[in-house]
Chains A and B, each alone.
Chain A
């Protein structure tokens, strides 16, 4: 086991910079998730750690060793691919044993390790099957098993669940969680799915345009997003972002626009804000009207979606669409006007220019 360190790592493909001066320390034994929209450089980063892409600039260390020029096989890593990349002509046993055989591991030991991994993953009865005879979930387990038997210092996962259907994905997600709990191997996991990121990661790195926007524990990225991008990317449904004017009145900051006027409590008014800002409110921080609440917004309902555990209400405020997550037992009529209270303690304010979090 080992930590993985990236120092000023840059990757260029011709004129295109896929990863820009990335510096990051992935702790020993932790599950780290790289998450972001497609093309953000997360897979490239993973492939550089694996040694499948050369590094244009910077250093990658696994443990104490700089591995920039070390070929993949000597990095002591194992990788699980999106399409599983199982060898179609080998049965499950040989798929898992191939890497060990190439390393000249004694036969008895290979058999022991493969059976151990197969047991762990519940695929012992499939060891003689060819990949094409397996279901998607089973293939996924074989791919994971192939990584486990090597007992590597670092596991690398490249969107391993994206080819599975929704139900299986949730199941495999929890299995991966349990597996990591048992093995405690340093893991780097790439996904574009923020739910996967939140549920699996000890820490997650939100990436955009080859730059890490925030590298923190999942709850932190949700509670205190570094910037507008992270705020919008983490959380579902996404955070409402509303342009607003900021002004100071009687020592309290007042945010206003055509549809609302919100006065922040004094505790959150200490900072001077630029006159024009972006207000960020999570759907779940909008709530039914309290008679004497400060900071309400008024919404004309256009669509409602009943999810059982919550009721999503969509409406327009000026030009912006807003979504609120309300008590599912409430009755909301389409085209009616409702008043919603904003949670003043959790709302965010962003700079429209730099997109940085101001408040």
Chain B
């Protein structure tokens, strides 16, 4: 690259650098703070670690031990997993069935019903809580895992069904004709052909939906807040902010605990995640 080109590109590099800085500094601050001693956190800014960044002694895992056992975020972490994994699995499962039905089966009202599903993708969940809650209380589902599994499954269904449908509708028709000549029933075709072919799409949807549920606060607040021992991370941290809003050694460590899993998922499965987002939003 010659010098003139370099100079011409300088504003570009600087602008990008500024963006990158704004996007990395807040998270970096949180990360560094979460490893610092409480008295240091309260006394000096986290950026003061930089002159002697790698000198030991100023970092410890104490804050993490504090939140995981002292604030029982360990339990919340588990709860988050117990909530997200089954709910995601159930909704992906049911959505695949529905998507196949809508894409390849013929029945009266198919189009209208699918349009309903498309329309419901953006419905505010606020519309749904008040009538469901009394029923949940009567059925004793409020504050239980099965209760929130069902709720999350239902809330995720319109989008997941739509996404999987888009993929399945693109499978060539010949494949279905061929299967029917081979003697496969619709159920068999779905199970032995459509599902295996759809694995990449299902993976994207699964990751997408998993992160959505893992990161959810609102639904947990409505259905689980009555019982702290089933609260997921988001709910526990929100409560921590309310109760101990100035104890940054707890808040930063807690926030990072809640971010850890999404970050791992994000960095290891970025490809699927991005594909899920693309499929979801460009089309709907």
Chain A interface (Cβ < 8 Å from any Cβ of B): 47, 50-52, 71-73, 77-79, 81-85, 87-89, 98-99, 102-103, 146
Which residues of chain B are near A78, meaning CB under 8 Å? Answer: 181
The answer to whether A88 touches B197, judged by C-beta atoms less than 8 angstroms apart, is yes
Contacts of A81 in B (CB 8 A): 174, 177-178
Stretch of B182-190, B244-252, B272-280 at the chain-chain interface? B182-190
Near A by CB (< 8 A), chain B positions 9-36 give: none
- In Å, the complex CA distance between A83 and B183 comes to 19
From A51, A73, A103, name the one whose CB has the most chain B CB atoms within 10 angstroms.
Answer: A73
Interface residues of B (CB under 8 A from A): 172, 174-175, 177-184, 188, 192-193, 196-197, 199
B104 nearest CB across to chain A (Å): 13
Sample of 24 A–B contacts (CB below 8 Å): A50-B181, A51-B180, A51-B181, A52-B181, A73-B182, A73-B183, A77-B181, A79-B178, A79-B181, A81-B174, A81-B177, A82-B174, A83-B174, A85-B172, A85-B174, A85-B175, A85-B177, A85-B178, A87-B179, A87-B193, A98-B179, A98-B182, A99-B183, A102-B184
Q: Within the assembled complex, what's the spacing in Å between the Cα atoms of A72 and B199?
A: 28
- Contact between chains at B197 and A73 (CB < 8 Å): no
B174 and A73 contacting across the interface, CB-CB below 8 Å: no
Check B188 against A73 for contact (C-beta < 8 Å): no
The residue from A52, A72, A102 contacting B188, defined by CB atoms under 8 A apart: A102
* Residues in B neighbouring A51, C-beta threshold 8 A: 180-181
Q: Chain A residue with minimal CB distance to B171?
A: A88
Specify which of A50, A82, A102 is in contact with B183 (CB 8 Å cutoff): A102
| Among A71, A88, A103, contact of B180 (Cβ-Cβ < 8 Å) | A71
Q: In the complex, what's the smallest C-beta–C-beta distance from A44 to chain B, in angstroms?
A: 13
Residues of A contacting B179 in the complex (Cβ-Cβ under 8 angstroms): 87, 98
CB-CB under 8 A from B174, the residues of chain A are 81-85
- B residues near A85, Cβ cutoff 8 Å: 172, 174-175, 177-178
The answer to whether A83 touches B181 (Cβ under 8 A) is: no
Residues in B neighbouring A84, C-beta threshold 8 A: 174
7 A-B pairs with the lowest CB-CB distances in the bound complex, closest first: A73-B183, A85-B174, A99-B182, A85-B178, A89-B196, A102-B183, A81-B174
A89 CB → nearest B CB, Å: 4
Choose among B182, B193, B196 the residue with the greatest number of A CB atoms under 10 Å from its CB.
Answer: B182
Specify which chain A residues have a CB less than 8 angstroms from the CB of B196 in the assembled complex: 89
Inside 8 A of A83's CB, which chain B residues have their CB? 172, 174
Taken together as a complex, chains A and B put the C-alpha atoms of A252 and B180 apart, in Å, by 61
Q: Which residues of A contact B182 (CB under 8 A)?
A: 73, 98-99, 102, 146
| Residues from chain B with Cβ under 8 Å of A50 in the complex | 177, 181
Shortest Cβ distance from B178 into chain A, in angstroms?
4
Q: Which residues of A contact B188 (CB under 8 A)?
A: 102
Taking the closest CB of chain A, its distance from the CB of B184, in whole angstroms, is 6
Contact status B181-A72, CB under 8 Å: yes
The CA of A281 and the CA of B197, in the complex, are separated in Å by 54
